Amino acid sequence: MLRVDVTKQLGEFSLEAKFESQGRVIGLFGASGAGKTSLINMIAGLLRPDRGVIALDDEMLDDTSEGIHVPPHRRRIGYVFQDARLFPHLDVRQNLDYGRRMNRLPEDPAQHARVTGLLDIGHLLDRRPGKLSGGERQRVALGRALLSKPRLLLLDEPLGSLDEGRKEEILPYLVRLRDEGIPMVYVSHDAAELRQLATQIVILKGGRVTALGGVKVLT
């Protein structure tokens, strides 16, 4: 379970958000500039809240009153960025293996095979990111985050940089992922996308949470 109650001042923009997850997939909905990315950057630990708490399951990740801030590399929270951010000097295989190596996890060929199968990236393993299409890159980024065995997966508009055709290509993989049961926070400004994926919605507008609830709040 994820609990967020934070405030953050970013220049002129102030962000104030409070919500708790009930469903498995939280859809974070809002226009661009609503503060969605800042909010999940705080959950990932890349940005420190000015005040407040972020807790995952029983662990306090941020608590400004106690001076607690767990750095991103100790959070075990996977992050799929809009722009994939694959490491250009590593091939796909090494990109996928990166999280396992950094966390010193034992090799897990079964999990590796399952994830590459789920995302259909088995034939790309020896390629460099520069030789991948946008959709392939995003699938590899998903695989890379999954293979680091995160407790929570953050997805920041993972389809945002893709055209319509490509979106249709990735969406089924995301649905499969959701059905795997990994808790997710899925950021999007596309209500249709969230209706397909999310089990709970948080609507963010101008840095404030304006609605919370089931997918019905996406009118």
Partner 1 sequence: MFEISPAEWTAILLSLRVAVIATLVATPFGIALAWLLARREFWGKSILDALVHLPLVLPPVVTGYLLLLTFGRRGLVGAWLADNLGIVFAFRWTGAALACGIMSFPLLVRPIRLSIEAIDRRLEQASSTLGAAPWQVFATVTLPLALPGVLAGMVLGFAKAIGEFGATITFVSNIPGETQTISSAIYSLIQTPDGDAAAARLVLISIAIAMSALIASEWFARRATKRLHGN
106 binds partner 1 (CB under 8 A): no
Does position 46 bind partner 1 by CB under 8 A? Answer: yes
Q: Quick check: 79 binds partner 1 (CB under 8 A)?
A: yes
CA 86 – CA 131 distance, rounded (Å): 12
Q: In what order do the strands lie in the sheet with 200-205?
A: 68-69, 59-63, 51-56, 2-10, 13-20, 208-213, 200-205, 25-29, 184-188, 152-156, 77-80
- The verdict on 183 binding partner 1 (CB under 8 A) reads no
Measured from the CB atom, the residue of 24 and 85 that comes closer to partner 1 is: 85
Q: Does 151 bind partner 1 (CB under 8 A)?
A: no
Compute the distance between CA of residue 178 and CA of residue 16 in angstroms, rounded to an integer.
28
Site stretch for partner 1 (CB under 8 A), options 23-31, 60-68, 142-150, 159-167 = 142-150
Least separation in angstroms between CB 215 and partner 1: 27
| Residue 20 beta carbon to partner 1: minimum distance, rounded to whole angstroms | 22
Q: Which long-range contacts (CB under 8 A, 24 or more apart) does 51-54 make?
A: 51/6, 51/7, 52/4, 52/5, 52/6, 52/7, 53/3, 53/4, 53/5, 53/6, 54/2, 54/3, 54/4, 54/5, 54/6
Phi and psi, residue 156, nearest 5°: -100, 95
Site for partner 1 in 84-103 (CB under 8 A): 85-89, 98-99, 102-103
Span of 29-37, 57-65, 111-119, 123-131 interacting with partner 1 by CB under 8 A: 123-131
| Residue 84: CB minimum distance to partner 1, A | 9
199 lines the binding site for partner 1 (CB under 8 A)? no
Residues of this chain that bind partner 1 (CB under 8 A) = 44-46, 71-79, 81, 83, 85-89, 98-99, 102-103, 128-131, 144-145, 148
